[in-house]
Structure 1
Amino acid sequence: MFLKQIVHFSKKSIRLSYQFQTMSTFTSRTNIVTGNNEWIFVDNDNFDYQQELARSAFADMLHDHERNIQYEKAIIKTLQNLSKSMKKIHILDIGTGTGLLSMMAARALNQINNTSCSSRITACEVFQPMAKIAKKCIEKNDLSDCIRVIDKRSTELDLENDLQGDRINVIIAEVFDTELIGEGALRTFSEACKHLTIDNENLHIIPARATIYIQLVESSVLQEFHTLKNISQQNQRINIPNDCRHLAGNTIFDLNLNELKDSIRPLTKPIPIFHFNFKHINEMNNFTEEKILENIQCNYDGRIDAFIMWWNLDMDEQGEIQLGTIPVWCYDDQEKIKNIQWREHWIHGIYYPQESKIVKAKDQVSLYCFHDEYSLYFDVGTSPFPPRSFIPAILSRSAMAAFNSDKRRNKYIKVLEKSFSNSSIKRCLYFGDGLLLPLLILEIYPNIELIILQSSNTHLNHCLEAILLNSTIKLNYQIISSLDKNEIDFQTIDMILSEPFFTKSILPWDNLHYYYLIQKYRSYFRSNIKIFPQKARIRCLALEFNNLHKIRSPVKQCCQFDLTPFDEQIMKASLNVDETIEPQSLFEYSSKKPTLSSIIDLIEIDFEKNFYDKIEKKNLEILFIENGICNGIAFWIDYELNENIWLTTGIENENDSWINYSKQGVHLLPKPIYVQSGMKLQISTGFDFKQGQFLFDIIY
């Protein structure tokens, strides 16, 4: 029987499937929490279809009022002007999605009082499930006679066979991401102009042009996501080598920076970098461009920590209609700031120089700028610049921020002092992928022998070795790849430690893999061995998000077009494959203050106890303490490091800020609930210890 191997990347794990001719698929996947391999029988084609569909557009793009309005304004203006001089209009909508922009074009054409102008609209969409949805939406709005949907890439369209030899004179496309060019916009426009359109003089593209801007800023908060800082400012037995400082790489870091505006100090004015006229994309150098901008003036004293990137579109050829991702601090008009469009599909890009640079007001610096077909690169300094290098990510940005958090670091130090001072602890075993705790122990307590169970992340292991070998004294440590009773005397180990952190973790409780490691090897150790942390508790809080809930909200109508076929298909796919709780970095997303409820403890896990294959379940009530609209529930996990000293991955108290070094779990309610103080929401919660799965449901 024919057998082929397929690797699927899903939200929770990597699935390695063996697919037979019968299309029956057994899928092996590693459970992140328990570490066990699981075999699951799935209808492979249907699962992937549903998952791709659920992910395809269930974000806030169609809720982006500004985007929709500006596109329609440009479409109306362009078609009205074109109808005065052209006898035939042929529109190509590239990446049509739901067909929204094509339907806008059809409506605009219907409103043009020029019967001598014939027109047609061709919409292309490579993702076949979405192409089917587009056809349904177009049919729902009685526009099937005006719009033809082809399920192909625009670069695969054949002028004769697909367009019947009828050349395009209007292109409408929304193929942009946070980086502008990351979805292949340059090749998309270039190929269409080359093979499908009439001459450039009579061609109109919506949008017509784009400009990428950057601004040089100082921000210690943004630096925490990029550069590992030394363990100690005093003894400095362990110094982090320069080539181990930037473990999150140097590709784009995208963030909702409008929520962090108070942590950003601009040092220059916005600087226009790259300009793209979509009718004239230069592909001679394989869509690459390189330039050095001299004499960039700094307006303030400070340290150049990062570059903030955004872009702006000229929607029409005259540049009268604009659409962009300008950050809030660049607006002077308070009314504009108040009405600024929230969006998740286009946010701000952060890039980092190879080295931070101290500058004085009125200093002038040089800026190196580069883009290829899909990405951007920047550096600052003086010519000649060091060679351009793209550094891969070994740790996530949040893991970098966790390492650098002073509050988190000080809690560890406080508990280590309690544990090691005047104690008989001499030998410790460390589980996990976190770098901070092992380095703290070896820096502050060089007499403690530390055994580190090596991560499966080989690049991270090499970095840990490089850091430890860079120490100024001989450190008492041993790195092992597995726990072998023949090589280690486990009876001599006094304490098991973890941060806990594992690079494969996605949701906060995925790091409970530490608990499963303890139980797996518990019989190796003395019965009185100390465990750090001692306990964990999963907590939750009801919230009224200002905007985040839009990423899962049905569209219903958009610009007076009925998009319910889209809602129905996406909701169905999401129910089939999506988790009820998803990871989000809540420090990026504002919610109404104060919070709607108090913090509730859902479940507590004592790491000393073995819960075997139990399923712990209980019903609880969320008590609302404020009036409002509950549209989401946030979850996180806290760890008890020592008696009554807890480390959070969420917030300490109801009105505190969300920590930035861990993602939280978020359940967005399908239907928001209007609540009043004193009302209660019934929930069911628990933990399946056999599956390593947190359980949650709302009892309506």
Structure 2
Amino acid sequence: MSAVSLVVPFHFFRCHSVTTRLRSVAARTMSSQSSQRVFQLRQDPLTGNSEWIVIEENDQTGVPETGLLARTSYLDMLNDSCRNRAFRLAIEKTITEPCHVLDIGAGTGLLSMMAARAMGEEDSKGMVTACESYLPMVKLMRKVLHKNGMAKNINLINKRSDELKVGEDLASQAHVLVSEILDSELLGEGLIPSLQHAHDMLLVDNPKTVPYRATTYCQLVESTFLCNMHDLQNNEAKKPDGVCLVPPGLESLFGIKSEQYAMHVDAIEKEIKLLSEPIKIFEFDFWKRPESDGEIGVDIEAITEGRIHAIISWWVLQLDSEGTIFYSTAPRWIDSNSDTGFRDWCDHWKQCVWYTPGAGVSISKGEKIHLHATHTCTNILYNLKTTQSLTREMTQSPLSTGDLHLTLPPERVAVYGDSIYRQSMIEATRKAVQGKSHPHCLVIDDSLLLPLMALHISNTSRVISLSPGLQENAARYLEAIADSNGYSKDRFKYFREGKAKLTEAYPNEIDLLIGEPYYYGLESGLPWQNLRFWKDRTLLDSVLSKDAVVMPYKGVLRGCAMFLPDFWKSRCCLGSVEGFDHALVNTTLGGCGDLPSGKDSPCLPFFIWQCGETKKLSKEFTVMEFDFSKPITGPCFGEVQVEFIKPGVCHGIALWMDWVMDEKNSTVISTGPDERYWKQGVKLLTKPVTVRVEGSSSIKIQASLDPSSNGELIITHILS
């Protein structure tokens, strides 16, 4: 199970350099005088069940358990040469004499080693205190320091920075702060509270800092693609299928989270119309104590007419006090001749998107619009006001639903508003119901669309929904929506008692067992984790009638050989990073290329279309199939030889699931690279393969699934 496990410190905001890189799963840490231990949360992808695994540390030189960090973005960050060089130059410029340096969120220790080297490694008057709260990373950093002969120069402390005390952990207050605790939005990893505590308790007055300052910028844009990722109400109003997930008057029940959404906007540059010049919003000075909250109002003049569907934001770091060293996360269309210039593709920092409510705000060329921006300790928020009207606010529901507001990821909102997807689902559901006079339907996943479609297609149908991820929120939402759509309450039920009670309550009574499949919370995982549908279908076999229909009918693991130079570069094995040997971290951090014999890189969940430059080099192929019409009976295996159709360099294999909805294969839902609302799995090769079509190197893909063990799909490849 470790191949799919993720770990994150339970301290959500001050875990430094790991929080947002590992948000999908949590772990807790505790310490005692005799040992330290990490409680790692591991999840079986087929059952959804979780268990806490204890990781002990009694050996101060131990290496972290392989796999714990392989799906983080540490490797991507360390491969970001622009970032590394900027920090090195700024540290060398700032630290010109022996002093006390504090590194918050030390990671592998790169910044700490830069600081120690800048002071002179043998100078006993200088010292570096490095704090890192995440125990597996602490263990790895110790190995890196030892490998580079820097262990005696740096005092590594396994604590959060707000747990440090001068006189206990630090001999004295630090003169210089070096730190990189930034996410794509800037503030999400706890930058503000960390700086506040450091300035209050850990730093001298007027300290030097690297970085020196961060400035956030934003730009108003029009983009149908971005609009589709949040405006379900207007999208489905154009659909003729008769099903309303957001009926008039119930807009407040459904939406996306009110926060900025990180994505690679360069990938949709041709689908974006710029409506304003870039606007400077907030400045955060690292060298002084920041305020917890702030606000600013800016009048923005439109450079062309259009409809404001979103606000795209980014930030620029000024790393030195003189303003000569910069790093930017700006999109490519920002002037390349600026101080920051272009950077390589990387995934640890992206741009952010703030979606304007509803269908957006119409604006004319030359018209001014007022942008009101606020920030908390962890977020930056926006609101727009034109000269005529305030951005549309959510309509209050006339029903008594309390504070219910069901939130889904933007991609799921876009899927539910997609014409082709909805038409495919309604046709598949209609075929499944066909011939059943009073169908009794069970929806076993977190679909919000299928319960309503089953009620809509057959006037005599009865529907039960489990919604294992959304749970009570889904129950309240579906009950309100079913009533709004005119379906009587006796036809729909949310089953709150769980699967075990369901088998007792409805033995042999279910005529139709269905799912999309979609499980809330697995959006950031690998696409085959939705094979949980098959496991749930197996557990509920006793509720099915003799002629019951299961939809989807089967799942198909598909793949394609890919040219992925940017993605490869961001995940390739490390050697020297700004003069410091990092080769020993490669296996632990999931590197590709130059791995020891018997080692392999993990499958990683990514949107292929956001992975920089990409190209398909082979036909799409089938690796293995999963028959949902029958319960799981044992291990499954698949194997395929890749057939190349284009010359180039193959860096890896894109893998995804196709869901075949019916026995005749007439309706297939693909989640492949051409479908931008689903993540694919990326299996990078042990080394790139040059493809000449004729006489090319051969790649064989093998897959296996053993549901009796940990439920993980194992993907391997063989080069010849």
TM range (shorter): 0.7 to 0.9
Q: How does 1:223-242 map to 2 (within 5 A)?
A: 223-229=227-233, 231-233=236-238, 234=240, 238=244, 239-240=246-247, 241-242=250-251
Matching of residue 274 in structure 1 with residue 274 in structure 2: no
Counterpart selection for 2:347 from 344, 357, 362: 344
- Partner of 1:261 in structure 2? 269
Equivalent AA in structure 2 for residue 451 of structure 1: V
Measured against aligned partners, the alpha-carbon deviations of 1:14-50 in whole angstroms (never above 9, x if no partner) come to 8999xxx999999997744256x69898766699963
- Partner of 2:585 in structure 1? 566
Q: How does 1:184-333 map to 2 (within 5 A)?
A: 184-200=190-206, 203-229=207-233, 231-233=236-238, 234=240, 238=244, 239-240=246-247, 241-246=250-255, 248-283=256-291, 287-293=292-298, 295-331=299-335
Residues 99 and 137 in structure 1, CA contact (< 8 A), matched pair in contact too:
yes
SS of structure 2 residue aligned to 1:137: helix
Residues 428 and 448 in structure 1, CA contact (< 8 A), matched pair in contact too:
no
Matching of residue 60 in structure 1 with residue 76 in structure 2: yes
Deviation at 1:406, TM superposition (A): 2.2
Residues 556 and 624 in structure 2, CA contact (< 8 A), matched pair in contact too:
yes
Equivalent AA in structure 2 for residue 179 of structure 1: E
Matching of residue 181 in structure 1 with residue 187 in structure 2: yes
Q: How many residues end up aligned between the 2 structures?
A: 665
Deviation at 1:618, TM superposition (A): 4.5
Question: Using the alignment, how far apart are the partners of 1:65 and 1:553 within structure 2?
Answer: 13
Deviation at 1:408, TM superposition (A): 1.4
Q: 1:471 to 1:163 in 2, by over 3 A?
A: closer
Two-structure CA RMSD over aligned residues (Å)? 4.4
Matching of residue 638 in structure 1 with residue 658 in structure 2: yes
- Partner of 1:538 in structure 2? 557
Question: Using the alignment, how far apart are the partners of 1:232 and 1:354 within structure 2?
Answer: 16
Q: Tell me, which stretches of 5 or more residues in structure 1 are unaligned? A: 1-5, 652-656
Q: How does 1:481-520 map to 2 (within 5 A)?
A: 481=495, 484=502, 494-505=511-522, 506-520=525-539
Residues 94 and 172 in structure 1, CA contact (< 8 A), matched pair in contact too:
yes
Q: 1:503 to 1:192 in 2, by over 3 A?
A: closer
- Partner of 2:480 in structure 1? 466
Counterpart selection for 2:176 from 141, 150, 170: 170
Matching of residue 686 in structure 1 with residue 704 in structure 2: yes
Question: Using the alignment, how far apart are the partners of 2:589 and 2:262 within structure 1?
Answer: 25
TM-score by length of 2: 0.80
Question: Using the alignment, how far apart are the partners of 1:372 and 1:380 within structure 2?
Answer: 18
Q: 1:150 to 1:419 in 2, by over 3 A?
A: closer
TM-score by length of 1: 0.82
Residues 132 and 156 in structure 2, CA contact (< 8 A), matched pair in contact too:
no
Q: How does 1:87-236 map to 2 (within 5 A)?
A: 89-110=99-120, 120-127=126-133, 128-144=135-151, 146-165=153-172, 167-200=173-206, 203-229=207-233, 231-233=236-238, 234=240
Residues 583 and 664 in structure 1, CA contact (< 8 A), matched pair in contact too:
yes
Residues 104 and 132 in structure 2, CA contact (< 8 A), matched pair in contact too:
no
SS of structure 1 residue aligned to 2:103: strand
Question: Using the alignment, how far apart are the partners of 1:525 and 1:313 within structure 2?
Answer: 59
Question: Using the alignment, how far apart are the partners of 2:53 and 2:146 within structure 1?
Answer: 37
SS of structure 2 residue aligned to 1:269: coil
Deviation at 1:459, TM superposition (A): 0.9
Question: Using the alignment, how far apart are the partners of 2:447 and 2:114 within structure 1?
Answer: 51
Deviation at 1:310, TM superposition (A): 0.7
Equivalent AA in structure 2 for residue 351 of structure 1: W
SS of structure 2 residue aligned to 1:268: coil
Deviation at 1:455, TM superposition (A): 1.5
Question: Using the alignment, how far apart are the partners of 2:290 and 2:152 within structure 1?
Answer: 37
Residues 508 and 649 in structure 1, CA contact (< 8 A), matched pair in contact too:
no
Residues 623 and 639 in structure 2, CA contact (< 8 A), matched pair in contact too:
no
Q: Tell me, which stretches of 5 or more residues in structure 2 are unaligned? A: 1-6, 11-21, 397-402
Deviation at 1:517, TM superposition (A): 3.8
Measured against aligned partners, the alpha-carbon deviations of 1:206-238 in whole angstroms (never above 9, x if no partner) come to 221111112222222223332323645358564
Question: Using the alignment, how far apart are the partners of 1:662 and 1:56 within structure 2?
Answer: 20
Question: Using the alignment, how far apart are the partners of 1:31 and 1:131 within structure 2?
Answer: 27
Q: 1:12 to 1:371 in 2, by over 3 A?
A: closer
Deviation at 1:557, TM superposition (A): 0.7
Equivalent AA in structure 2 for residue 189 of structure 1: L
Q: Which has the larger radius of gyration?
A: 1
Measured against aligned partners, the alpha-carbon deviations of 1:378-418 in whole angstroms (never above 9, x if no partner) come to 11126989999999764333322221222212222444565
Deviation at 1:252, TM superposition (A): 2.7
Percent identical pairs in the alignment equals 28
Q: 1:33 to 1:331 in 2, by over 3 A?
A: same
Q: 1:43 to 1:475 in 2, by over 3 A?
A: closer
- Partner of 2:626 in structure 1? 605
Question: Using the alignment, how far apart are the partners of 1:12 and 1:618 within structure 2?
Answer: 29
Equivalent AA in structure 1 for residue 148 of structure 2: N
Equivalent AA in structure 2 for residue 94 of structure 1: I
Question: Using the alignment, how far apart are the partners of 1:463 and 1:278 within structure 2?
Answer: 44
SS of structure 1 residue aligned to 2:281: strand
- Partner of 2:612 in structure 1? 590
Residues 430 and 438 in structure 1, CA contact (< 8 A), matched pair in contact too:
yes
